Amino acid sequence: MKHFIIAILLLTTVFLSACNSIKVPKSTMDHKMSATPTNVVPTKSEWKIADHPKANEEIPISIFIKDKANQPIKSFETVHEKKMHLFIVSKDLSYFSHIHPKYKENGEFTITTTFPAGGDYKIIADFTPKGGGDSSIESHWQHVEGETATVEPLVPDQELTKVVDGKKVTLSFSQLTAGETLHLTFTITDAATNKPITDLQPYLGAMGHMVAMSADAEKYLHIHPMTTAGNGPKVIFMTIFPEAGVYKVWGQFKHDDKIFTVPFVIEVPKK
Ligand SMILES: [Cu+2]
């Protein structure tokens, strides 16, 4: 019980110290809720993107990671096989991309990407400076010129079963209340045969990845499965939704050497 309380206190600290992105520290992923201190290195970032990027063009992005004194941070931990994970979402969360910039040197990461339509995008960089226990987050809103896509309203799914790339995926929860720990379970079967899939492959060092974002794209959660044992059909994630509201959740898994991404829109009720 004592450890549990310490973990909650630590969580609260992390929630309060993160400015506009809220993340769940690794310690919550430990089933025992260990009281390992979380250690998020404070960072700053500078983003260099062409002045008026246009949709459907190759857009180079440079991200400079600095410490609070504005000095470049030069070394980073490799976490889930990469030094930086970059997520790009459109403002309505209909578009989602998970890519991996290259580390150049002197705190600079670069990547080239293509935005599918005009509009505003949130770009989230997730990385861990050397010695950091939990990842640091830097994010940037980017306007992209060009014809805008129809804005898709974010409506919670009535049915939490989807078919994506020949897989039938069902999402279920141990409970669903803001501010409380929950387990999210993705159950994956073959859509054609209805047989459970038991040969999922590790993708970036985990049996799956889950990203959740609040409807306003301000809160971001990146979660890994609770265990590396088992290759499906169930992949279980543990997290805490910091506030009530509508969230979009993307599960990413690998099967037959292909990555598939399954999105759900859920409404998290308040306590
Ligand atoms: Cu990644």
Which of 144, 176, 202 is the C-terminal boundary of a domain? 144
CA–centroid distance, 254 to ligand 1, in Å, is 13
- Residues 127 and 168 placed together within one structural domain of the fold: no
CA–centroid distance, 33 to ligand 1, in Å, is 25
CA–centroid distance, 77 to ligand 1, in Å, is 13
CA–centroid distance, 150 to ligand 1, in Å, is 28
pLDDT digits (tens, 9 = 90+) for 68-109: 999 999 999 999 999 999 999 999 999 999 999 999 999 999
**What percentage of the chain exceeds 70 in pLDDT?**
86
- Domain span at residue 258 reads 161-268
Average pLDDT over residues 180-191: 96
Which of 112, 144, 176 is the C-terminal boundary of a domain? 144
CATH code assigned at 193: 2.60.40.10
- Residues 122 and 193 placed together within one structural domain of the fold: no
How would residue 10 be classed by pLDDT, with cut points 50, 70 and 90?
Answer: very low
CA–centroid distance, 261 to ligand 1, in Å, is 13
- Non-local CB neighbours of 28 within 8 Å, separated by 6+ positions: 7, 11, 181, 238, 239, 240
Which of 118, 144, 170 is the C-terminal boundary of a domain? 144
How would residue 226 be classed by pLDDT, with cut points 50, 70 and 90?
Answer: confident
- Residues 138 and 171 placed together within one structural domain of the fold: no
CA–centroid distance, 139 to ligand 1, in Å, is 15
Q: Is residue 251 predicted with pLDDT exceeding 70?
A: yes
pLDDT digits (tens, 9 = 90+) for 123-152: 999 999 998 888 999 999 999 999 999 988
- Residues 138 and 44 placed together within one structural domain of the fold: yes
